[in-house]
Amino acid sequence: MKRVLTGASLIGVAMSLANAAGAQQQAPKQQMDSDFAASVKQWTTRPEFMTPLVDHLPLSTTIPSPKQVFGHHIGVPNVLHSQAEINGYFRKLAAAAPDRVRIIEIGKTNEGRDNIVVMISDAENIARLDQYKANLAKLADPRRITPAEATRIIGETKPIYHVTAGLHSAETGPPEMVMELAYRLLTEDSPLIRQIGKNLVVAFTPVLEADGRDRYRDWYYRHLIDEKDDLNKPASTPYWGKYIYHDNNRDINFSDPSAREMMQYYLEWHPPIMHELHESVPFLYTYSGQAPQNPDLDPILYGELPFYSNFEMSQLTKMGLPGVWTHGFVDAWSPGYVGFMASNHNGMLRMYETFGNAGATTMLRHVDTGEVGPGARGGNQTARDWYRPSPAYKEVEWSMRNNTNYMETGVLTALQLASTFPDVILENFYKKSANGVAAGAAKAPYAYIIPANQSDPTRVKFVVDTLQLQGIEIGKANGAIKLADKSYPAGSLVIKLNQPYGRLAKTLLKVQDNYPDDDMTTYDDAAWTMGLMTHTNIVQIADKAVLDVPTTPLDHFVVNGAIGGAGAGGYAVLDTGSVNLAQLRFRLKDVAVRVAEKPFKAGGREVPAGSLLIPASAGGQLKPLIEELGLTAVAAPGDPGVPTNDMPIPRVALFSTWGSTQSVGWVRYAFDQYKTPYDLIFKEQVRAGDLRAKYDVIILPDQGRSPKDVVFDLPMKGKPLPYDASKDFPTMGMYGSSPDIRGGMGLEGLEELRKFVAAGGLLITTGKASGVPGGFGLVDDASAGGVSKDFYAPGPIVKANVLQPASPLFYGYSQKTMPVRWASNVLLDVPKTAKQYVLMEFPGGKKSVMSGFMKGAEEVKDRPAIVNMPVGAGRVVMFATNPIWRWQNLGEYRMLYNAMLNWKALGGANNLAPVKPDEGAPLGKTPRVDDGSKPTGLTGSDDTGTPN
């Protein structure tokens, strides 16, 4: 039966909520662990940091406690448990209480560790868990049930409240705390715990970034365990996961297997609430979904979030905990945070930031360092504000147990509220899902169409696979589509928005042209429009008739490669912009390949510039690769009639600092996905010299906070910090090794890079690293400057004009103006006498912003976006953009690959002719392709303006 809250029952609910702390003391017959009480009291640094929810722990003869398994209680100083130990503890709980604990294996990490989800509840709920899963799936898709059936299902179902720990590896407390919390849920006999067990299924991801947990634990024991100076603490480990640090919480396209596995788990189980546990600001921040907010999500969400956060803040403050606050920190604009999968799918993301020491060492923390500026998120965290009624202390001795007390008390309080209103959780979940379906049919846009027959179907596949991974339904048009005055060919893909996840489809595909206030900062990127990021033509449809277009559900998008017989000149593999063309070249490593510098015709078919010419003798190798990679090969004439040149495979080195590996990690990830051979090098290899004998191309990707960081990296202070293989620390020395990660390549390394280029090598820099050549004298005719203090551009997508379309960097690109993601506040400049080396530039101005926003857009007017400059016998190619940004801007990847593969053909009259002035214009005036004022098709139009 569905519970109806009468006036009397509401009073009872209120009393229950108000008396949660005292409720813990209402089980006098249960024996408590006196050693636990004494230990945690000792480890808690101030009495007000303890609460009645966590100052005790029951003894059990059937359920193993953390101390029984590990020999100590949770929160013991100087101890971090490994991922295997943590997962192993949960497996022991499941073995001891199989009727109350279920473990779900969801997959493996990059390095082969187990990813698990643990579900805990009363025996009756665990017995009905599969039925709850089926019921939640029905509530998630209201098209399958009537409102009356929904009411019945809600009354028969318990919501899943999912808690995620260990996403960020240096945030070490959550995986420890959840072990104690799980034990408490299984053993404590109090009204609160009984209510939670009766009305909720509590799910845990004990360690989401399992690889990083073990690597950081090794680093902590090796370098940090004795460090107590929070103002001069040594650097963190160079890596958490295999590729990325914090960006595993910005992985909008789910590149990481752990993120993909969580997404698949979500779509199978549909937990209405996902609660991420993080560590950073003092003492506990609870997420309220502050502005800027994505207005395309259901308004119900923005009522739910402060309902929980305000309750937690009031309850924890009532218990005497200082420094509990909400608002002012993380907004609800970007959809890319991993746990945001809940909000994106009509559930709710919740999040804590609890104060932590990045380890288990107790230390004096200087909370107020005097460095808090007016733009600090949340303001001065030691000052009272309306959302922080009891601020944190300016200095505090902080321990792991403090961290556990705060976090566990917060989660128990959240579970208290959720278990008091389980039906409301499910009602909201169902209502948001139903509203999502209705919204797609109520107001334009009604759908997005991906037209068939696009020049590069591999980019279409990237988009489709990403959407389907998130549960978005896509149909394939059964015939030609005719809408008003527009038509689309049969086979076009239709994403109708009157589906449960239609709002998510709209969020990912629309142009972000509705940012509410340019003076308002956002926690992550302001734009992510998939069509613009991938250079895929995706059309927004305002004609409601699109909802009636007959389609067949698309199971999986398949790109079939095509290859015919060889011609007199072998094969021509068409360059239509796919990154797979570059992969093909690398995989044909023993084949002599030439590239066409200009377009030509073969058998009546247009062969674009950049197409690869493959000898007929390689046909046996070529055919399966063409089919696998979705490319097209045609018979090549003996003489194509256009200039061609050899394309030898370059020997590539990818440079990384030790202190900032994340952005380099995204390049590594892309290179690994596209089977690109490269060496990962660090300061040690650069300083050793003789680089030209080893490499043809060296890439300095965007990294660090400034060009200076690329050169000098971690300061040479404190003790040495080795990162190398060790029996005691087995995760060290992976993905590079160093006897001491402090210090960068320095001026000594810059000199070796100069020698490399002078001897004929190609140096490629991206983003902030592109400030290095001009800023440190590697090139004479380029300089790097900065923007004003008022400039603000959190990752918008902007226009860039191609000035040298014949350059090999633009093989596969047909547009003279293309979308690129704004990457860096380092602005390049070249004198007029060197304008011929500018391949691409930013037109600047507000009208050049295609998605997101850029405050101070006039500052980038006519600034170089790509510079290709000769130096000695070599060249330096500087991207002010970042052509590989996360696993998102696929449309820009080819520019970096083109530079690498055409390393021997980046100069010459055909490719770097001096820039000619406009006819009738003054000499020296740079020609303009697009001044930003032309219509973009982004506002008030059906067309998103993406290239075809």
Query: What would the 3-class secondary structure string for 283-315 be?
Result: CEEECCCEEEECCCCCHHHHHHHHHHHHHHHHH
Contacts of residue 620, defined as CB under 8 A and 6 or more positions apart, other chains included, come to: none
Euclidean distance between CA atoms 278 and 275, whole angstroms: 10
Contacts of residue 597, defined as CB under 8 A and 6 or more positions apart, other chains included, come to: 609, 642, 643, 644, 645, 806, 808, 905, 910, 911
Looking at residue 160, its pLDDT comes to 98
Euclidean distance between CA atoms 356 and 171, whole angstroms: 7
539-541/284-286 β-pairing: unpaired
Contacts of residue 917, defined as CB under 8 A and 6 or more positions apart, other chains included, come to: 923, 924, 925, 926, 927
- Using CA atoms, how far residue 398 sits from 74, 223, 326, in Å, is 15, 19, 21
Euclidean distance between CA atoms 914 and 393, whole angstroms: 62
Query: pLDDT by residue (tens digit) across 274-297?
Result: 999 999 999 999 999 999 999 999
Looking at residue 375, its pLDDT comes to 58
Which tokens is 943 given? Answer: 């067309």
Euclidean distance between CA atoms 177 and 339, whole angstroms: 19
Looking at residue 913, its amino acid is A
Contacts of residue 194, defined as CB under 8 A and 6 or more positions apart, other chains included, come to: none
Euclidean distance between CA atoms 931 and 513, whole angstroms: 19
Euclidean distance between CA atoms 638 and 643, whole angstroms: 13
Which tokens is 150 given? Answer: 């929904």
Coil, strand, or helix at residue 471? coil
The Cβ of residue 583 has, within 10 Å, a number of other Cβ atoms equal to 21
Range 853-856, long-range pairs (CB < 8 A, 24+ positions): 853/515, 853/518, 853/526, 853/527, 853/793, 853/796, 854/792, 854/793, 854/796, 854/798, 854/822, 855/518, 855/519, 855/790, 855/791, 855/792, 855/793, 856/787, 856/788, 856/790, 856/791, 856/792, 856/793
Looking at residue 376, its pLDDT comes to 67
Cβ distance 716 to 742 under 8 Å?
A: yes
Q: How deeply is 915 buried, as exposed, middle or buried, from its count of CB atoms within 10 A (0-12, 13-18, 19+)?
A: middle
Looking at residue 19, its pLDDT comes to 56
Helix axis angle, 173-187 to 400-420, nearest 10°: 50
The one-character DSSP state at 233 is P
The Cβ of residue 383 has, within 10 Å, a number of other Cβ atoms equal to 13
Query: pLDDT by residue (tens digit) across 575-616?
Result: 999 999 999 999 999 999 999 999 999 988 999 999 999 999
Phi and psi dihedrals of 235, rounded to 5?
-65, 160
Q: Shortest CA distance to 734 belongs to which of 146, 285, 110, 230?
A: 110
Cα angle: 100, vertex 349, 469; to 5 degrees: 90
Euclidean distance between CA atoms 801 and 839, whole angstroms: 9
The Cβ of residue 166 has, within 10 Å, a number of other Cβ atoms equal to 25
Cα angle: 541, vertex 546, 549; to 5 degrees: 145
**Residues lower than pLDDT 50 in the chain:** 1-12, 14-15, 20-27, 909-925, 927-948
Euclidean distance between CA atoms 431 and 429, whole angstroms: 6
Q: Shortest CA distance to 90 belongs to which of 75, 112, 105?
A: 105
Q: How deeply is 694 buried, as exposed, middle or buried, from its count of CB atoms within 10 A (0-12, 13-18, 19+)?
A: middle
Dump the DSSP string for 755-795. HHHHTT-EEEEEGGGGHHHHHTTS-SS-EEE---TT-B-SS
Torsion of CA 96, 101, 107, 113, to 10 degrees: -40
Radius of gyration of the chain (CA): 29
- Using CA atoms, how far residue 318 sits from 46, 351, 581, in Å, is 16, 21, 63
Strands (E), 196-318: 201-205, 273-280, 284-286, 290-293
Dump the DSSP string for 475-492. EEESS-EEETTEEE-TT-
Residue 324's H or E segment, with its range, is: strand 324-326
